[in-house]
Structure 1
Amino acid sequence: MESLPNAAPGEWLKPLLDIVWHDMHAVVPRGFPAYARIFHPVVRARPQDTGTWHGHPRTDVLPLDEEPVRWSVVAGAFGTKMHPLAQFHRLLGQVPNRQEIFDSEGWRYSEPLTGNLAPNVLAAVAARLCEHTSTPDKGVSAIWEGWGGLTSSIGYARLTFSDDSTSVENTPDFAALDGGSGSGLLPTEVINGGTLNLPGRAYYLFNAAPQFYRDPGWVNHVPWHHSPQFPQSPSVLWPADKSWVLVTEIDFDSTVVAGSHELVSALVRDPAIEALPLDEGADLTWDADVPNRPRQ
């Protein structure tokens, strides 16, 4: 896993992105034949003993049944409609308020991860991506520069537990809390190597091809997260032949792939992936099922 010395491999994306945010093309490049939206899994849980949270204090430490579910399952549980522009909180029939959400069967739902695609889903996606490029073993991974602890250890700490004490260690390598540039996960030469500056975002580039992500074990071999228990997927990924682009925007709870019609069809058909075709120019802040809702 090598960092790239400069941003040149990503410069081709700049003319394909909007400078002003109108729709998804501030982060997803224009000009591809087709697009797919991949929905990040939702986790739901309920107590094993009763199968419902009703009657249990929320602070109870209980053995839980947990399972990842698709957005379409969430829509079914709450009597709403799943569609390509779906917003998660609207599938729940609520405005976003961070309150706990329960369905009639006692399941409690967590929100999907934003800016992060689960390793098992990424592995399934990568398998399809590799089938639709002539360079599956050559490509670039872009990592958003703002993830905590990348450039400096300031403000990032790790809790460690033993039988009789709890201590706080700053990461990485017990660096001082006031550590400057280069005291974080990425060495100084990477930080000083420059970033790919796209509208509103900057990224560090790494030589990490799509083939690399077909094995979920990739989480053990990247320098941009603190622990494989809490992995971070690439923010942008493309092959050397530029036949497609995968974008996991840091504020999106879904991932968008721009590529061929054949690739989009393969993603939508794959039972390991929840994906729907997306129109070019789609606004992922717009919910067509809500009448009279002004565009944002």
Structure 2
Amino acid sequence: MDALLDDEQGRWLLPRLTAGSSTMHVAVPRGYPAYARIFHPAERDRPVLQGGQQGQVGTSELHVTSEEVSWATVAEAFGTIMHPLAQFHRLIGSPEDDGNGVHDAAGWRYFEPITGNLDAGVLAAVARHLDDHTTTPTEGVAAVWEGWGGLTSSAGYAVLAASDGPIPVGSGYFVPDGGPGSGILPKDVVNGPVLALPDRSYYLFSAGARFFAGSGWPNGAAWHDGSAIPQSPSIVWPDDHSWVLVTEIDWDSTIVAGSWELIGALVSDPTIEALPIREGANLRWDSDNENRPPNSSA
């Protein structure tokens, strides 16, 4: 995977986007036959008593079991409606998750899906379909938002290993900014041009759909720092422009624009939670009218 030190291959997107739009086309290009919305997995947990019979004091331990769940499972648990324009906070009947989760009647505690990042395994499953629906499966572009922490410099808070030695006075566990190129990306990339789209700018890398189709794709991604949760690309498209995948940094879902055949394949894959969505769809936080609370104006 090589960095592209100009924005030429991404300029075709700009006329298909609408700056300031209230629709998904502030980030997703118009003009494709069909679109699919891929819902980022949510997580839930609950305490489970293990290691002994109920009532036998001292023989049981309380453990917490956790699992990823689909939005459809969340809707079923809270008695709400899963549909293409669903918003997670409406599915759980709460204006927002304050970080402590929201509980259902069975004792499961639910946490919001990650925004701006499509699970690595789900992306691999999606990419296998993308590979089948382009004439250039090994040639394409991956765009990564320039604002992700650690990409451009080393500045940030660090976790220091236990040591008998003194911590430098004034360090505050903070790693000072080493300047452009001291982060994950090299200096020539950081100082090079970026693709400027409405409200966002991106570094570009050469990467076809086939690159992301393997489960080990994070190990070859130029922006991956080895963390447990790899960052997915923000936008991916093949050289023939037959489709586009967009994971906008503020969204908890990913949009794929492409042919009806591609969208049908994504929606039919049981390993991917996806629903077809119309062109011009609104994904704002108040767009879920199916689950709008009674007497609510928003």
Equivalent in the alignment of 1:230: 229
Change (3 A) 1:77 1:230: same
CA contact (8 A) 1:44 1:66 kept: yes
CA contact (8 A) 2:157 2:175 kept: no
Residues of 2 paired with 1:116 and 1:127: CA distance? Answer: 18
Q: Look up the equivalent residue of 1:67 and give its one-letter code.
A: E
Could you say what the CA RMSD is over the residues aligned between the two structures, in angstroms? Answer: 2.3
Specify the SS of the correspondent of 1:48.
Answer: strand
CA contact (8 A) 1:46 1:66 kept: yes
Identical amino acids, percent of aligned pairs: 54
Q: Which moved more, 1:256-265 or 1:223-232?
A: 223-232
1:223-254: CA deviations, max 9, x gaps? 21322412000000001110000000000000
Q: Which moved more, 1:246-255 or 1:178-187?
A: 178-187
1:89-114: CA deviations, max 9, x gaps? 10001111424211111111111000
Change (3 A) 1:69 1:294: same
Equivalent in the alignment of 1:265: 264
Equivalent in the alignment of 1:141: 142
Residues of 1 paired with 2:126 and 2:118: CA distance? Answer: 10
Specify the SS of the correspondent of 2:159.
Answer: strand
Equivalent in the alignment of 2:55: none
Which consecutive unaligned segments of at least 5 residues does structure 2 have?
Answer: 51-60, 169-173
Specify the SS of the correspondent of 1:212.
Answer: helix
Q: Look up the equivalent residue of 1:150 and give its one-letter code.
A: L
Residues of 1 paired with 2:219 and 2:297: CA distance? Answer: 44
Equivalent in the alignment of 1:178: 177
Q: Look up the equivalent residue of 2:149 and give its one-letter code.
A: G
Shift of 1:41: 0.3
Shift of 1:27: 0.2
Equivalent in the alignment of 1:44: 44
Equivalent in the alignment of 1:150: 151
Change (3 A) 1:164 1:200: same
Shift of 1:200: 0.3
CA contact (8 A) 2:180 2:191 kept: no
Change (3 A) 1:8 1:92: same
Pairing 1:65–2:65 present: yes
Q: Look up the equivalent residue of 1:200 and give its one-letter code.
A: D
**1:19-34 aligned within 5 A:** 19-34=19-34
CA contact (8 A) 1:161 1:167 kept: no
Q: Which moved more, 1:216-225 or 1:158-167?
A: 158-167
Residues of 2 paired with 1:105 and 1:164: CA distance? Answer: 47
Residues of 2 paired with 1:35 and 1:89: CA distance? Answer: 23
Change (3 A) 1:266 1:102: same
Residues of 2 paired with 1:237 and 1:292: CA distance? Answer: 41
Equivalent in the alignment of 1:249: 248
Q: Look up the equivalent residue of 2:81 and give its one-letter code.
A: K
Number of aligned residue pairs: give it.
279
Change (3 A) 1:239 1:294: farther
Please tell me whether Structure 1 or Structure 2 has the larger radius of gyration of its CA atoms. Answer: 2
Q: Which moved more, 1:99-108 or 1:208-217?
A: 99-108
Residues of 2 paired with 1:32 and 1:294: CA distance? Answer: 33
Shift of 1:159: 1.4
Shift of 1:273: 0.2
Residues of 2 paired with 1:71 and 1:110: CA distance? Answer: 11
Q: Look up the equivalent residue of 2:4 and give its one-letter code.
A: L
Shift of 1:20: 1.9
Shift of 1:22: 2.1
Residues of 2 paired with 1:163 and 1:79: CA distance? Answer: 52
Q: Look up the equivalent residue of 1:16 and give its one-letter code.
A: R
- TM-score w.r.t. the length of structure 2 is 0.88
Residues of 1 paired with 2:164 and 2:209: CA distance? Answer: 45
**1:1-296 aligned within 5 A:** 1-49=1-49, 63-98=63-98, 99-154=100-155, 156-162=156-162, 177-285=176-284, 286-289=287-290, 290=292
Residues of 2 paired with 1:165 and 1:43: CA distance? Answer: 40
CA contact (8 A) 1:160 1:167 kept: no
Shift of 1:157: 3.1
